Structure formats: structure tokens, C-alpha cells
Amino acid sequence: MSKHITHWIGGAAWTGTSERRGDIYNPATGKVTGTVDFASVAEVDAAVGAAVEAFASWRNASLAKRSQVLFKFRELLDAKKDELAAIIVEEHGKVHSDALGEIARGQEVVEFACGVPQLQKGGFSEQASTGIDVYSIRQPLGPVAIISPFNFPAMVPMWFFPLAIATGNTVILKPSEKDPSAAQFLAELWKQAGLPDGVFNVVHGDKVSVDRLLEHPDVKSVSFVGSTPIAKYVYENGTRYGKRVQALGGAKNHMLVLPDADLDLVADAAVNAGFGAAGERCMAISALVAVEPIADELIAKIKERIAGLRVGAGCNATSEMGPLVTRQHADKVISYVEAGVKEGAELVVDGRLHPIDGDDTADGFWLGPTLFDKVTPEMSIYTDEIFGPVLSVVRVESYDEGLALINANPYGNGTAIFTNDGGAARKFQNEVEVGMVGINVPIPVPVAYYSFGGWKASLFGDTHAYGAEGVHFFTRGKVVTQRWLDPSHGGINLGFPTNS
Ligand code: NAD
């Protein structure tokens, strides 16, 4: 049966009729499974209107009430994670265990946000001047927009909305049109958790809805995650309209392998981080920088592991890697494989030939794990973010050459070093120009009480997602200077107030 996904406004599914719609696919079969409404300006305005109305009371809901709702949401999310994972698998294509992993990482942020009474505390200085106390408070912004990509339909929205809601804001989420159902499911969970109507709203759609959110005067901030060109566009336009914007962009993550590393550990890590979620992770490793003389041995180990990988529909328990998200994206990734061969890289493993498990997969959007050797920095498979299961090995002669390569890259999301030399790892952590660094850890996504964000073309704005920076982003500071009048302090004094 074909599903129809529509907006969630004011605590209920939208009853209007959208004039524009998109198809939803199951990437494993290539079949259309439903449609999703694309919001018009009027529909976005209705969602923002609901968020404005709800903000008037939610901003004053007690900290106790807010954390109770968050605890309840966390319990429901945990209880229903298998159901949500199945929804993600059907529209995104990733395997079920991977979908559970993204839910778990999003749940971590919900758990962090449950501590809002502690997180939103201000400071107090008694007797800052004689008879005067000074204190700071942090207040919510108002309705905030979250615009998310296809690759983590549950986790990325949960990088933002738990803290936005916990700190007293109301939310309009615009998820990816490619896998919209997870947002719908999360909206229903909020309702069951007792969140007042209008605090969490979802509008589906494309550029029309994004542009309206950017310009709408009642939307106070924008949290965006997606590709670099759109992140830049969102940052430039959102700030032009006077909004606070954090816009996380694309990536090209390097893994630097020093000759003293444990090559079996490295081969496992490279395969996991290169091909997990079919390489459709912003923290995927796409460039493996091998400091010679280890490349031949390492490539042999990676090749052996790739041969054993089970590629098939994400809903099959035996699958380790699923399809790409759309036919168009699969074609684009395959065109990079062709370009790599043409540009002279050595195709060690051709993912176009990898067997696909299961029935009904003939029309799915497949590409198996692909490995290139002897990749050079000028080749398009190196310069571009491919966002697919294509791992490029670049051979270098020294740590310094590897570091220079990483630092010259326009992206700076994540990176990792593999070595048994603590001094080298410490030097790397100090010198590398990347926002998230792993030491013998290939996908260093920070835990919820730190913050997630890259450098350079991987982040526009200065605030990372979740953790203390997330609390800061979704609140604005106010400092109060108070004096309870003592008659002896009266009198006229036109001078600028100083401390005494
Ligand atoms: P995308 O940029 O195509 O889409 C992201 C969002 O922007 C979607 O909601 C989409 O509807 C909207 N959008 C698309 N085109 C638009 C336009 N012209 N104007 C306005 N809005 C538009 O990204 P995607 O393909 O969904 O996701 C993959 C990208 O996201 C990759 O580049 C990946 O690296 C990046 N990503 C980054 C991070 C990070 O933390 N830095 C995390 C996840 C994904």
C-alpha cells in the first residue's frame, strides 16, 4: 500500500492539500513506496504560526515540566527504536543495525537534554558593587528551524531539537524529502510524550520551504546540515535576514596510517568507516593516506575483507551494507568510479561487480564497495566528496607529507590517525586543521556532552551542534544588575556607573 507523508503542524497531521509532491523510494528495490507533500509558502507560514503561538507558553513552562517531557520522549524512543529503524531502512537503505546505531546516537542527545535544569543555569555575583548583585540568565530564542539531510533522518534532527525544546524554543523541522517518514514518527512520539501542540512542527519539501524558513521574520535561528554549497547558501541567506545560523556542510575525511600501526586494526577500521552506510556518512573515511612502506600490505588486507562483505537489502539480517539512496545518486557515484579509472588510479576492487544478496533487488540503487590505489590529489575521486562506497588510497612518504595533504583539503570535518606512537598522535592532534579527530578511532563522532562540528568548508558559522555549544546556540544571554533600594544610596549622579 502506498503511503502519503504530510506536514505536522500544531500537533496534528496537516489536513490541507499540497499542490506539489515528491515520490518516496525503497532504494533496495527501486520501487516507489509513497509520496511526500512539498510545502508551499503558506504551509510553511502555518507551521511557523503554530510555533509562534506555542512559544508564548512553552518558554515559561517550568524546567521540571520540560525535563519530564524529555524523559518521557526518551522512554518512548527507546521502546520504539526497532519500529523507527525499520522506517529508516525502508527509505534510506542502510542496514537495520546501522539505523539502530543512529537512533542510539540521537538518543544520547535527548538524554543530555534531560539535564536542562542544570544546563540552563545562569551565574550570580553577590555584591558586585556595594548593595548591587549581578546575575545572568539564558532565555530561548523563539521558533527555530532545523533543516536536515537524507543520510541520518533521525540522528541529525536529534542533534538539535532535544536541546532546542529543552531550552524553551519551539521547532519547525524540514527533513530531507528523500526519507521523510522518520520525522513524522518522531513528531508522533513528542505528542505521546505530552509535548504541547505546536512546540514541534514538521514541514516537508524542497527549496521553496527552505527559502521561506530563511526569510520568515518569526524564525529566529536556523540549524542546517547538508552539502557544502547548500550550507553556504543557508548561512549567507539566513544571516542576511538577521538570524543566528549554524550550517554544517560536506566532508572529505582522511585516515592517516603510520608505518608502526597495527595493520589488521587499520584494515578493519578502513572497511567499517569507508563502507558502513554505503559511505553515505559525513564522517565516512574516503581517503586513506598510507605512509610507506605499508600500502601494499594494507591494501591486500582491505581487499580480503571487502570480498567477504554481504551487500543486500537493509532489512535482511545478513546484510552488512545496503544500497545508495537514489538512482540519481548511484549513477553519480558510479560516474566517479569511471572517472577514477580514466584519470589513472588503480581500481583494486570494482564495486560494480560485487554480488547483491536477496530477491527483488534488480532495480535497486546498488554499488558495492570500491577500492582505488595510487590516487593523486588532482583526481576527481580525491578532490570531490563522492558520498558513496568508494575508498581512495593515497601513498605518501612521510607523516609531514600526509599532514600537509590533510591540511590543504578544503574540508575539515573529521580525521583519524592510526599509530602506536603516542608522541606522533599527540603531534597530529595539535597540528591537524580538522574539527573532530580520532586516534585509532576511525569515526570520531563526539559524545553528546561535547559538541559536533567541522572546520573550514564543513561548517559555516561558529557554533557546533549539541553539547554546551548547542545550549548556547538555542539561548541568548541576559545580564541583570539589581539593587534593592537603600535610602542612603539615593541622589543625583550623571556619571557613568562604576563599581565601588
Ligand atoms: P543536501 O544539501 O542536498 O540537502 C540538505 C537539505 O537541504 C535537505 O533538507 C534538502 O531538502 C535541502 N536542499 C537541497 N537543495 C536545496 C536548495 N537548492 N536550496 C535550499 N535547500 C535545499 O544534502 P543531502 O544530499 O541530503 O545530504 C548529504 C550531504 O550532507 C553530504 O554532503 C554530507 O557530507 C552532508 N552531511 C554533513 C554532516 C555534517 O555534520 N557536517 C552530517 C550529515 C550530512
Q: How far apart are the first and last CA of the chain?
A: 75
> Best substitution site from 148, 150, 223, 328 to test ligand 1's pocket, by max atoms within 8 Å of Cβ?
150
**CA 351 – CA 366 distance, rounded (Å):** 9
User: Strands, DSSP E only, in 203-355?
Assistant: 221-225, 244-248, 253-257, 285-291, 311-312, 346-349
Answer whether residue 259 shows pLDDT above 90. yes
Catalytic residues: 282
Q: Is residue 241 within 8 Å of 202, Cβ to Cβ?
A: no
Answer whether residue 18 shows pLDDT above 90. no
Residue nearest to atom 23 of ligand 1 (CA): 226
Q: Please tell me the distance between residue 204's alpha carbon and the centre of ligand 1 in angstroms.
A: 14
> Which phi and psi (to 5°) does residue 200 adopt?
-125, 115
**CA 274 – CA 416 distance, rounded (Å):** 12
Cell numbers linked to 291: 605512509
Q: Is the CB–ligand 1 distance for residue 282 below 6 Å?
A: yes
Residue nearest to atom 10 of ligand 1 (CA): 176
Cell numbers 527504536: residue: 81
Q: Please tell me the distance between residue 387's alpha carbon and the centre of ligand 1 in angstroms.
A: 11
The pTM score is: 0.97
> Best substitution site from 227, 234, 434, 436 to test ligand 1's pocket, by max atoms within 8 Å of Cβ?
227
Residue nearest to atom 42 of ligand 1 (CA): 282
Answer whether residue 449 shows pLDDT above 80. yes
Q: Is residue 323 within 8 Å of 364, Cβ to Cβ?
A: yes
Q: Is the CB–ligand 1 distance for residue 206 below 6 Å?
A: yes
- Amino acid symbol at 255: M
Cα–Cα separations (whole angstroms), residue 258 to 322, 373, 403: 31, 17, 11
- Ligand 1 nearest atom to the CA of residue 147, by list position: 9
Q: Is the CB–ligand 1 distance for residue 392 below 6 Å?
A: no
Percent of the chain with pLDDT over 90: 95
Which residue from 161, 143, 283 is spatially nearest to 213, judged by alpha carbons? 143
Answer whether residue 490 shows pLDDT above 90. no
pLDDT for 488 equals 64
> Which phi and psi (to 5°) does residue 72 adopt?
-65, -45
**Model pLDDT for residues 51-61, shown as the tens digit of each residue:** 999 999 999 99
Answer whether residue 252 shows pLDDT above 70. yes
Residue nearest to atom 24 of ligand 1 (CA): 149
Q: Could you tell me the pLDDT band of residue 487, with boundaries at 50, 70 and 90? A: low
Q: Are strands 221-225 and 244-248 parallel, antiparallel or unpaired?
A: parallel
Answer whether residue 383 shows pLDDT above 80. yes
pLDDT for 464 equals 98
Q: Is the CB–ligand 1 distance for residue 174 below 6 Å?
A: yes
**Model pLDDT for residues 116-171, shown as the tens digit of each residue:** 999 999 999 999 999 999 999 999 999 999 999 999 999 999 999 999 999 999 99
> Best substitution site from 109, 176, 434, 463 to test ligand 1's pocket, by max atoms within 8 Å of Cβ?
176
Tell me the average pLDDT across 78-107. 98
Q: Is the CB–ligand 1 distance for residue 227 below 6 Å?
A: yes
CA torsion through residues 115, 117, 122, 125, sign: negative
Q: Please tell me the distance between residue 270's alpha carbon and the centre of ligand 1 in angstroms.
A: 24
Q: Is the CB–ligand 1 distance for residue 150 below 6 Å?
A: yes
Q: Please tell me the distance between residue 169's alpha carbon and the centre of ligand 1 in angstroms.
A: 24
Q: Is residue 406 within 8 Å of 254, Cβ to Cβ?
A: yes
Q: Please tell me the distance between residue 229's alpha carbon and the centre of ligand 1 in angstroms.
A: 9
**CA 138 – CA 322 distance, rounded (Å):** 44
Cell numbers 576492487: residue: 349
